[in-house]
Amino acid sequence: MAELLVFHHAQGQTAGFLAFADDLRSAGHVVHTPDLYHGRTFDTLEAGIGYARDVGFGALLDSGVRAADGLPDGLVYVGFSMGVMPAQQLAQTRPGARGALLLHACVPASEFGGWPDGVPVQIHAMDADPFFVEDGDIDAARDLVASVPDAELFLYPGDQHLFADRSLPSYDAAAAEVLTRRVLDFLNSR
């Protein structure tokens, strides 16, 4: 059993995001899901990004990092897209991290001072997702895999961004099933 801190994407804590967290709980893991949007959700990615821009990405990142206060060391940090920022920062800077799962995004490790020794990471995205490919996340992911022995990059065929959120039109059931199985295998090995 692992204990996780899971951060939502720019559309907020959608039904599909919460269902993913519940799937992890059903598998026996302890899952914390801080709501950085205080109950707000958005029907489109563009609207959610607009809200995040208005609040400030830095403020959301700070809020995400503070969400770990009071939680034990030894967490696995999980981020969906925008939620990768606090998940990755915590995995790289908070002592005792047991792993990181970066879904739909990846920030250059240098952003938070380099990847710590002994912290495994998986990155999951679609190979033609314009956010992941054109915004440089794929390059950051490949660099991470090239420099961290316990790093894995899984690319799924397709061009959808939030393909693991079953409540969104971008959901891809086949890819999400494989992602979930890989995530559970990762967690069961922690």
Q: Give the model confidence (pLDDT) of 43-67 as tens digits.
A: 999 999 999 999 999 999 999 999 9
Residue 80 class from Cβ within 10 Å (0-12 exposed, 13-18 middle, 19+ buried)?
Answer: buried
Give the mean model confidence (pLDDT) for residues 97-104: 98
CA separation (Å) from 123 to 52, 138, 169?
A: 23, 9, 22
Confidence (pLDDT) at 189:
87
How do residues 9-32 score in pLDDT, each as one tens digit?
999 999 999 999 999 999 999 999
Q: What is the CATH number of domain 3-188?
A: 3.40.50.1820
Confidence (pLDDT) at 95:
95
Mean pLDDT taken over the chain: 97
pLDDT bin (cut points 50, 70, 90) of residue 179 is very high
Nearest to 135 by CA among 85, 76, 78: 85
In what order do the strands lie in the sheet containing 99-103? 30-32, 3-7, 76-80, 99-103, 121-126, 151-156
Residue 167 class from Cβ within 10 Å (0-12 exposed, 13-18 middle, 19+ buried)?
Answer: middle
Confidence (pLDDT) at 144:
97
Confidence (pLDDT) at 183:
98
**Is 190's pLDDT higher than 80?**
no
Residue found under tokens 């899971």: 6
How do residues 66-98 score in pLDDT, each as one tens digit?
999 999 999 999 999 999 999 999 999 999 999
Verdict on whether the full-model pTM lies above 0.95: yes
